[in-house]
Structure 1
Amino acid sequence: MYSFNSRVRYSEVNKDKKLDLTSIINYFQDCSTFQSEDIGMGLSYLENRNRIWLLNGWQIQVNRYPSLGETITTGTWAYDFKSMYGYRNFIIKDSNNEICAAANSIWVLLDTLTHRPVRITDDDIGRYYMEEKYDMEYAPRKIPIPENLKNYDSFTVVRSNIDTNNHVNNGQYIKMAEEYLPLGFKIRQLRAEYRMSAVLGDTIVPMVSEKKNLCSVVLADTNGNPYTIIEFER
């Protein structure tokens, strides 16, 4: 497992002084980026080969949200590569080695010239060490679009939403979607499926479905085609 240590910062907590979900996702993304950079297969390596890894889906389970100032360890490892897909687990542990959050993620290798997925080769993954997959109940990759969606006012993608791939960052979609959760909704599990990449200036139409313990948010274009489908479970 590749890992790094940190403390929960004030800029990462919510009104309850707890690490928020977007910050958990940022820790996960940073951890995988650090690993790739440290083994020489980071952003520059990918750019030189006209490749990028795009996130296809998250499944994140939260046992507890670490508190302000708490020491945490974020870890990640790859557990499988098949065809165009890479599979990676993440964890956040506290100082007692208790798991605060764990995640499964699915990535797609994309050719930046053709904008199409490509088959993974040893040149793409040769320096990653694979480990056993994390012991959790794995949900399906695909998330069905729920019925009886309620539309909300659309908004425009701004510069602060954009990452190094010139797309809306994975965590930004989650932050957008959280705005439509009922008050007091404490997230126990998140599932997200990314279908299209929104870019600067795109219009996003939020559509929401609420059930007893589930809130689904579809962030779509003006034709109703989903950029992302996000399922929050309390």
Structure 2
Amino acid sequence: MFETERMIYCSQIGEGGKVRNSGLVDILQDTSDLHLMNHPVLAPFFKETGSVMFLTHRQVDIIRRPEYGEHISTKTWTYELNRMYGSRNTIVLGEKGDVCIKSIAGGAFMDIRTGRPIRVSADLIAQVKSYEKLEMEYLPRKIAVPDTDPVITCQMVIRRSDIDMNDHVNNARYFDITDELFHECYNAKRLRAEYKFPIKRGDAVFADRYDTTSGCIISLRDDSGKVFCNVEYTL
């Protein structure tokens, strides 16, 4: 288990004085990244082999959004790991110790040079400690896109600021992109993302929004229909 502490500052706050969806994901991914960077088993392995953990999906259940100036602590741990995939829980606690955010993230071992998934040794997996799974609702990794016509279709602009150190859109920035198409985005009580293919700068990206009874689903694709990412908002 790994823990970080921080304050909520203006860089996480968006419209209406609420923490942005991408701000919440930044908090989660920073803690997870620090965990992997400092992991006694996985950190040396990633460095020696030139591999990474490629995020495949994320679920964020929002009990409440932390407030500006609030001191928070974030805890993360691996609850499942095999030779190809891993899953983790991350929670955000408010300054009074209440759980603000519960989340799930899954990833696959990948060779960063080839962009292909890899299978690691059973000996390596045996050295990684796993913890008890967090009590929460676990939805499927895949997001079921409605078999109807979208209510909105438009081309999205991929900005230079969306691109991260791996030369593709950072997983938190997908929410910045899709938030533009959903007015109630900051009122969401649950966020889900299914990451299929990374968006790179220069890619033509189109967004299809499908309204649901509890929010909406936004699918990001190229002009041939290949889906990069599906994002779901639940109010």
1:194 aligns with 195
**Contact 1:89–1:105 (8 Å) recurs in 2:** yes
Residue 15 (structure 1) aligns with: 15
**Conserved? CA contact 1:3–1:76, under 8 Å:** yes
TM-score, scaled relative to structure 2: 0.91
The change in CA–CA distance for 1:224 and 1:150 in structure 2 (over 3 A counts) is farther
Q: Percent identity between the aligned chains? A: 27
2-structure distance, mates of 1:124, 1:201: 38
C-alpha distance in 2, partners of 1:224/1:124?
38
SS in 1 for 2:26: helix
After TM superposition, the structure 1 = structure 2 runs for residues 133-148 of structure 1, keeping only pairs within 5 Å, are 133-146=133-146, 147-148=148-149
Name the residue aligned to 1:152: 153
Q: Secondary structure at the match of 1:154?
A: strand
Letter matched to residue 75 of structure 1: K
Instruction: List per-residue Cα deviations over 1:91-124 (Å, max 9, x = no partner).
Output: 0001221100010111011123432211133676
Q: What secondary structure does 1:24 align onto?
A: helix
- Which residue number corresponds to residue 105 of structure 2? 105
Helix, strand or coil for the counterpart of 1:60? strand
| 1:34-45 alignment, distance < 5 Å | 34-39=34-39, 41-42=42-43
What is the rounded CA distance, in whole Å, between the counterparts of 1:145 and 1:47 in structure 2?
37
For the aligned residue pairs, the C-alpha RMSD in angstroms reads 2.0
Q: Which ranges of structure 2 fall in alignment gaps of 5 or more residues?
A: none
**Residue type at the aligned position of 1:188:** K
What does residue 73 of structure 2 align with? 73
- Number of aligned residue pairs: give it: 233
**Normalised TM-score (structure 1):** 0.92
CA distance in 2, matches of 1:8, 1:67: 7
By how many angstroms is 1:150 displaced?
A: 3.5
* Match in the other structure for 2:115: 115
Q: Counterpart of 1:46 in structure 2: which amino acid? A: F
AA partner of residue 91 (structure 2): I
| Contiguous gaps of at least 5 residues in structure 1 | none
Aligned residue in 1 for 2:26: 26
